[in-house]
C-alpha cells in the first residue's frame, strides 16, 4: 500500500476455471469485449456486498469515493444487509442483464455462490443472465 488510504494501487483478480476450455472461453470474452459497440454497454458499475460485516459495504463505498466520484459512471448497489436475499439477487441479475460494465462483490463465497445465504448461485442464476453480448467484468 502506498499513501494514507486503505486501498491497493493495483487490483488483482482471478479467472476461475477448471478446464483449459473454460480458460479459453473466459479469455475470448475478455478479448472480445473491445468489439462490443459502446451503445450496448450500460456505463454502470454493480457493487454487491455480503451482510456478514459492514466493512464489505464500507469497502465498496470507499471505491466509489476514491475512483468514481469524479466520473459520470453510476454505481448500482446490491447490499445484502439492506435489501435481503431475494431483492439482492434480483438486483444483481437485473443490473448484469442491463449490461453493467463492471461487477464487484465483496463478501464471503466460493466458486459456486456468493454469501452463506446463496445470494447468487451459479447453477440457478447464471442461466437467467441474458448479457452474453455485454459481459461484465
Domain ranges, ordered by start, for the chain: 38-128
Percent of the chain scoring above 70 in pLDDT: 94
Q: Alpha-carbon distance 113 to 23, whole Å?
A: 19
* Average pLDDT across the chain, whole number: 87
Closest CA to 92 of 113, 67, 70, 116: 113
The tens digit of pLDDT for each residue in 70-102 reads 878 889 999 999 999 999 999 999 999 998 988
* Residues in the chain, overall count: 137
Per-residue pLDDT at 104 exceeds 80: yes
Amino acid at each position: 500500500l502506498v499513501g494514507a488510504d486503505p486501498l491497493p494501487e493495483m487490483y488483482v483478480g482471478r479467472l476461475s476455471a477448471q478446464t483449459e476450455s473454460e480458460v479459453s472461453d473466459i479469455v475470448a470474452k475478455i478479448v472480445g469485449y473491445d468489439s462490443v459497440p459502446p451503445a450496448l454497454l450500460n456505463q454502470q458499475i454493480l457493487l454487491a456486498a455480503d451482510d456478514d460485516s459492514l466493512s464489505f459495504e464500507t469497502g465498496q463505498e470507499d471505491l466509489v469515493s476514491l475512483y468514481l466520484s469524479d466520473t459520470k459512471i453510476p454505481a448500482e448497489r446490491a447490499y445484502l444487509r439492506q435489501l435481503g436475499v431475494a431483492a439482492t439477487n434480483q438486483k444483481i441479475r437485473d443490473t448484469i442483464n442491463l449490461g453493467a460494465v463492471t461487477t464487484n462483490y465483496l463478501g464471503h463465497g466460493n466458486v459456486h455462490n456468493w454469501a452463506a445465504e446463496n445470494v447468487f448461485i451459479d447453477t440457478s442464476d447464471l442461466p437467467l443472465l441474458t448479457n452474453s453480448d455485454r459481459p461484465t467484468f
